[in-house]
């Protein structure tokens, strides 16, 4: 009866009396094997399904061979994750019971994954079923089948999980370092979801949200303006543009640069179309001016189709928005959080792969790093990863969209470059208040 709460022990080989962790129809799986497989994620990913059972710290202390104070602290951790609730707590007694519902399904999912009996188990989800599900979600594109592909995909998912753990620890107020991974501690990696990033949060609150009633074409243009400079400081300095005067924006950018003030982002490469002039002049005259002129046509496509794939096709004809479609993707992802494309019908069916995502997919599938792969194949591979992620990700992960997979593939490529000794990012990460 101490099945999953036994995982509180977090100690290999400490086996409580009574039932061990097991799936619904299988013989017990020994606790030390479970801990070895799940590591520090045990508390987050397994919950007790005995919805009618009550536990006191004294009983758990005896079962887990842990001091009662440690049991109490870990009960509080489980409460924080919404896995158990207090029945009574006073100066003498604490009684808790596990929560039913989603927790039971979570337990069964992890029992399936780590059951020792594979496909012979009545509750195990076989590899064949997983592949069929992934292929169906990818519109007929089969999921990775080789062990090399699986290994690469699992490394990618583990990277995403560790990056999200880092964010949660940071947001909880814990002291740095926030990860057991020295690479994640040392370098900047974007959050699992773009919406968690500071710049995007500022943009939503101060740029697009206050201007949702403006014409659709104007909204699209200002999303492009924001992303082509990419800094909150410059956006705040120039403000939302209802009329377009490229010379005025060039002057503002160059004046800030002369004063040494932040103007362009360093998070991604700003295309300059091969021109040798000042970056601000190229961006404003050669890229943003054509976008301003095409804004109403792009807005009309958005209204008529409600498809970001079809809107992107229109937009990729413009200078600075073609190629891999990276900047088109960046701008339209912002537009999908506005009335322009909020009700888009193909949010999780299509997403162009940027340069970093392309390299990451080549790594995962064992291809040459810089191999040129057709966009349709890359999108199919991202959709297969998106489908697999539903089974792989633990409950504390946020709800993912297809773009999150693309977004993190780029970060995974950066991570792998460091791990494999190929290249190191230019900027190390130092949290505020930490001495270098």
Write out pLDDT tens, residues 276-296. Answer: 889 999 999 999 999 999 999
Q: Which residue has the higher pLDDT, 56 or 138?
A: 56
**pLDDT for 433:** 63
The domain tally of the chain equals 3
Task: Please measure the distance between the N-terminal and C-terminal CA atoms of the chain and give it in whole angstroms.
Answer: 50
Whether the pLDDT of residue 91 is over 60: the answer is: no
> In which domain, by residue range, is 30 found?
5-114
Q: Are residues 242 and 353 in the same domain?
A: no
The tens digit of pLDDT for each residue in 292-336 reads 999 999 999 999 999 999 999 999 999 999 988 999 999 999 999
Q: Are residues 155 and 78 in the same domain?
A: no
Q: Are residues 222 and 309 in the same domain?
A: yes
**pLDDT for 133:** 45
On whether residue 205 sits in a domain, the answer given is no
Calculate mean pLDDT across residues 27-45. 35
CATH number (domain holding residue 45)? 1.10.10.10
Rounded percentage of the chain residues whose pLDDT exceeds 70: 64
**pLDDT for 97:** 52
Q: Are residues 280 and 389 in the same domain?
A: no
The encoded tokens of residue 381 equal 């591979």
Q: Are residues 174 and 258 in the same domain?
A: no
The residues pairing with 89 across neighbouring beta strands, listed in sequence order, are 94
Rounded to 10 deg, the angle between the 326-335 and 216-229 helix axes is: 130
Q: How far is CA 146 from the centre of its chain?
A: 25
Whether the pLDDT of residue 245 is over 80: the answer is: yes
DSSP state of 318: S
Query: If you compute the radius of gyration of the chain from its CA atoms, what whole number of angstroms results?
Result: 25
Whether the pLDDT of residue 206 is over 60: the answer is: yes
The tens digit of pLDDT for each residue in 157-198 reads 999 999 999 999 998 888 888 998 999 999 999 999 999 999
Q: Tally the residues of the chain.
A: 436
Question: For residues 406 and 357, is the Cβ–Cβ distance under 8 A?
Answer: yes
The residue among 335, 364, 398 that closes a domain is 335
Calculate mean pLDDT across residues 212-235. 97
Question: For residues 86 and 57, is the Cβ–Cβ distance under 8 A?
Answer: no
On whether residue 41 sits in a domain, the answer given is yes
Confidence of residue 36 (pLDDT cuts 50, 70, 90): very low
Whether the pLDDT of residue 19 is over 80: the answer is: no
**pLDDT for 168:** 92
The encoded tokens of residue 377 equal 């194949």
Work out the mean pLDDT of the chain and round it to a whole number: 76
Q: Are residues 186 and 233 in the same domain?
A: no
Omega of the bond leading into 125 within 30 degrees of 0 (cis): no
Whether the pLDDT of residue 405 is over 80: the answer is: yes
Q: Are residues 139 and 106 in the same domain?
A: no
Q: Are residues 186 and 84 in the same domain?
A: no
Task: Give me the DSSP letters along 146-163.
Answer: SHHHHHHHHHHHHHHHHH
On whether residue 167 sits in a domain, the answer given is yes
Calculate mean pLDDT across residues 74-81. 56
Q: Are residues 101 and 27 in the same domain?
A: yes
On whether residue 168 sits in a domain, the answer given is yes
Q: Are residues 235 and 166 in the same domain?
A: no
On whether residue 121 sits in a domain, the answer given is no
Could you give the 3-state DSSP secondary structure of residue 85?
Answer: strand
Write down the pTM of the prediction.
0.65
**pLDDT for 52:** 34
**In angstroms, rounded to a whole number, what is the distance separating the alpha carbons of residues 326 and 56?**
55
Q: Are residues 186 and 218 in the same domain?
A: no
The residue among 280, 302, 335 that closes a domain is 335
The residue among 56, 84, 114 that closes a domain is 114
On whether residue 39 sits in a domain, the answer given is yes
Which of 21-25, 112-116, 167-171, 424-428 shows the highest mean pLDDT? 167-171
**pLDDT for 75:** 59
Q: Are residues 161 and 245 in the same domain?
A: no
Calculate mean pLDDT across residues 84-106. 48
Whether the pLDDT of residue 1 is over 80: the answer is: no
On whether residue 436 sits in a domain, the answer given is yes
**pLDDT for 115:** 39
On whether residue 344 sits in a domain, the answer given is no
Tokens 């949660």 found at? 168
The tens digit of pLDDT for each residue in 363-394 reads 999 999 999 999 999 999 999 999 999 888 98
**In angstroms, rounded to a whole number, what is the distance separating the alpha carbons of residues 145 and 159?**
20
């Amino acid at each position: 009866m101490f099945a999953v709460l036994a995982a509180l022990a977090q100690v290999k080989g400490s086996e409580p009396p009574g039932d061990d962790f097991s799936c619904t129809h299988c013989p017990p799986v020994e606790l030390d094997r479970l801990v070895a497989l799940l590591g520090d994620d045990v508390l987050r990913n397994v919950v007790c399904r005995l919805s009618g059972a009550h536990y006191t710290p004294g009983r758990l202390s005896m079962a887990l061979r842990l001091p009662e104070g440690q049991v109490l602290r870990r009960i509080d951790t489980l409460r924080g994750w919404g896995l158990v609730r207090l029945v009574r707590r006073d100066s003498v007694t604490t009684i808790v019971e596990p929560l039913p519902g989603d927790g039971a399904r979570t337990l069964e999912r992890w029992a399936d994954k780590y059951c020792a009996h594979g496909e012979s188990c009545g509750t195990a989800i076989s590899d064949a079923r997983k592949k069929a599900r992934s292929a169906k979600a990818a519109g007929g594109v089969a999921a990775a089948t080789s062990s090399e592909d699986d290994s690469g995909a699992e490394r990618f998912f583990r990277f995403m999980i560790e990056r999200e753990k880092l964010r949660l620890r940071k947001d909880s107020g814990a002291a740095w370092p926030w990860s057991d991974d020295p690479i994640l501690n040392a370098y900047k990696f974007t959050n699992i979801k773009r919406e968690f990033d500071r710049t995007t949060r500022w943009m939503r609150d101060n740029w697009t949200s206050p201007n949702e009633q403006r014409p659709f074409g104007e909204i699209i243009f200002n999303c492009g303006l924001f992303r082509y400079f990419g800094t909150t400081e410059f956006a705040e300095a120039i403000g939302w543009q209802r009329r377009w005067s490229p010379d005025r924006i060039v002057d503002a950018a160059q004046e800030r640069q002369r004063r040494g003030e932040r103007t362009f982002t360093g998070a991604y490469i700003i295309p300059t179309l091969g021109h040798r002039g000042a970056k601000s002049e190229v961006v404003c005259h050669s890229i943003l001016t054509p976008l301003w002129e095409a804004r109403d046509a792009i807005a009309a496509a958005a209204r008529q189709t409600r498809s970001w794939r079809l809107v992107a096709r229109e937009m990729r004809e413009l200078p600075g928005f073609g190629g891999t479609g990276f900047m088109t993707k960046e701008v339209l992802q912002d537009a999908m959080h506005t009335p322009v494309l909020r009700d888009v019908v193909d949010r999780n069916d299509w997403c162009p792969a940027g340069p970093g995502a392309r390299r990451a997919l080549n790594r995962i599938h064992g291809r040459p790093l810089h191999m040129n792969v057709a966009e349709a194949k890359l999108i199919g591979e991202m959709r297969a990863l998106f489908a697999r992620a539903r089974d792989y990700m633990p409950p504390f992960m946020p709800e993912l969209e297809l773009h999150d997979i693309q977004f993190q593939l780029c970060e995974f490529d950066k991570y792998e470059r460091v791990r494999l000794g190929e290249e190191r990012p230019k900027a190390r990460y130092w949290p505020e208040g930490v001495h270098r």
